[in-house]
Amino acid sequence: MATVTFDKATRIYPGSTKPAVDALDIEIADGEFLVLVGPSGCGKSTSLRMLAGLEDVNGGAIRIGDRDVTHLPPKDRDIAMVFQNYALYPHMTVADNMGFALKIAGVNKAEIRQKVEEAAKILDLTQYLDRKPKALSGGQRQRVAMGRAIVREPQVFLMDEPLSNLDAKLRVSTRTQIASLQRRLGITTVYVTHDQVEALTMGDRVAVLKDGLLQQVDTPRNMYDKPANLFVAGFIGSPAMNLVEVPVTDGGVKFGNSVVPVEREALAATSDKTVTVGVRPEHFDVAGPDSDLGVEVTVNVVEELGSDAFVYGTAQVGGETKDLVVRVGGREVPEKGSTLHVVPRAGETHVFSTSTGARLSD
């Protein structure tokens, strides 16, 4: 069991001047499931590979427990990694694939067999131990790759998009299995994905990266409720938060005919004449047609999901025509072409500086 610390860890690839990972600072608790998430090229794999010892660290340090592992070779770090392309050995049985690392390490046959059987039981692979990988489904192969990591009983699991080879349905069930397995084993885990839904559903905490820079590290709840900046606000949540640039007025900011309250001090922090207001699709209330608050949305497209529906429309906000997404009940779906009067729910709005992106509301 161990904590993991990225202490201003930086990676600059040879030939590049800009760091791929720039002074990454995260402390991961013992037994925690931390998810690194962000768009392609933001430095997720590089961060993980630095922790694994597969990539040089050009600044700062990395610690596992009290050990400074910054310059230790991978084999001395006591970690096990599961990759996207988990490349099982095709000519070996499932059992041999799972036990291979232990065999290399010189562990005796009986002990290998025992550990493999234990892991197989946890992963529900017992009946496949004598099969070759090609006779397994994608999800089963994925579990064998997990098994290879588990039998080593490492201090830390590292996983880089381990589910991306699976179809959508299998991804959903496998992500639940991995999350519950991790909780059962209690092994500190760093998990990389570009999928924010996967991040929110699996992580104890989520770290959002952009251009090599850490944007926010927080619990899924806080990440969703209080995104630290415009980037996180737009990245976390699907459909994305509505973000609209609006003028600053007395005591707040104007969103259509509604005033979104913002503390005076928060607005004093910016000299901008406009700020960006964020409202999640589920945080609009539908008002009667006579309401003198909020905005009138012209309905362009309705996406029905059964339980609820997303209305994609346009509205006049801050003197411009803006696209808005509003969630409505599955049985209260408006007609295409009709208008829907919506009011941002008090206490559920977000205000950001348009120029710096920083969160202004508390």
Rounded-to-10 torsion of CA 218, 220, 226, 227: 80
Question: Which is nearer to ligand ATP, 12 or 333 (by Cβ)?
Answer: 12
Q: Are 260 and 344 in contact (CB under 8 A)?
A: yes
Q: How far apart are CA 145 and CA 137, in angstroms?
A: 13
Neighbours of 252 (CB within 10 A): 22
Query: Using the rule CB under 6 A, is 20 a contact of ligand ATP?
Result: yes
Q: Taking contact as CB under 6 A, which single stretch among the options 36-44, 115-123, 200-208, 340-348 is the one that binds ligand ATP?
A: 36-44
- Contact of 15 with 7, CB cutoff 8 Å: no
Write down the least CB distance from residue 213 to Mg ion, Å: 16
- DSSP state at residue 37: E
Candidates 43, 53, 154, 162; binder of ligand ATP (CB under 6 A) is 43
Give min distance, CB of 174 to ligand ATP, in A.
Answer: 19
Q: Which residues bind Mg ion (CB under 5 A)?
A: 45
- The order of strands in the sheet holding 205-210 is 79-82, 156-160, 188-193, 33-37, 205-210, 213-218
Q: Which of 45, 182, 188, 229 binds ligand ATP (CB under 6 A)?
A: 45
Report the residue number, 208 or 233, with the smaller CB distance to ligand ATP.
208
Task: Give the DSSP letter string of 198-225.
Answer: HHHHH-SEEEEEETTEEEEEE-HHHHHH
The entry of ligand ATP, Mg ion, none near residue 178 (CB within 5 to 8 angstroms by kind) is none
Task: Indicate which of Mg ion, ligand ATP, none lies near residue 321 (CB less than 5 to 8 Å, by partner kind).
Answer: none
Q: Please choose, from the candidates 197, 206, 215, 350, the residue with its C-alpha nearest in 3D space to the C-alpha of residue 283.
A: 350
Q: Which two tokens stand for residue 112?
A: 């290998």
Q: Which is nearer to ligand ATP, 38 or 53 (CB)?
A: 38
Partner from Mg ion, ligand ATP, none binding residue 162, C-beta < 5-8 Å depending on class: none
Nearer to Mg ion, 209 or 277 (CB): 209
CB crowding 89-125: b at 16 or more within 10 Å, else e: eeeebbbbbbbbbbeeeebeeeebeebbbebbebbeb
Instruction: For the beta carbon of residue 156, count every other beta carbon within 10 angstroms.
Output: 24
**Least distance in Å: CB of 350 to Mg ion?**
29
Cα 182 → chain centroid: 17
Instruction: Name the segment binding ligand ATP (CB under 6 A); options: 12-20, 265-273, 317-325, 336-344.
Output: 12-20
Q: Specify the amino acid at residue 77.
A: R
Among 5, 46, 216, 349, binds ligand ATP (CB under 6 A): 46
Binds ligand ATP by CB under 6 A, chosen from 31, 41, 59, 138? 41
Q: Which of Mg ion, ligand ATP, none is residue 20 near (CB under 5 to 8 Å by kind)?
A: ligand ATP
| Interface pattern 170-209 for ligand ATP (x via CB under 6 A) | ------------------------x---------------
List residues near ligand ATP by CB under 6 A.
13, 16, 20, 38, 40-46, 194
